[in-house]
Amino acid sequence: MTPRIYHNARCSKSRATLALLEERGLTCEVIHYLDTPPSAAELADLLGKLGMTPRELIRKGEAEYTELGLDDPSLDDTSLLQAMASHPRLIERPIVVANGKAAIGRPPEAVLAIL
């Protein structure tokens, strides 16, 4: 299976993770998720593979987090997934999917565990 990386070329961790995979001789399917964001359903699937909740995957330092009031503890997972699908900058990056599993490349070497 070809590894898939949800990539943001402006992010140093994302670039380093992609470089690490390529150094290992892997050709990846690169998804520029800011241009083609995953749907809420795709995000739910990724979360299952990551073993995380939407709150754990959301980037709290982004302006949209505050602007959309996503710190409200009463928001359910569906609302958070919709927000991330509509505002992909809120999605933690990079995410690598391989062998039915997923990992976040923070640090980049963390993705090696799923290869």
Cis peptide bond upstream of 108, omega within 30? no
Neighbours of 30 (CB within 10 A): 16
Token digits for 6?
């949800």
Q: Catalytic residue numbers?
A: 11
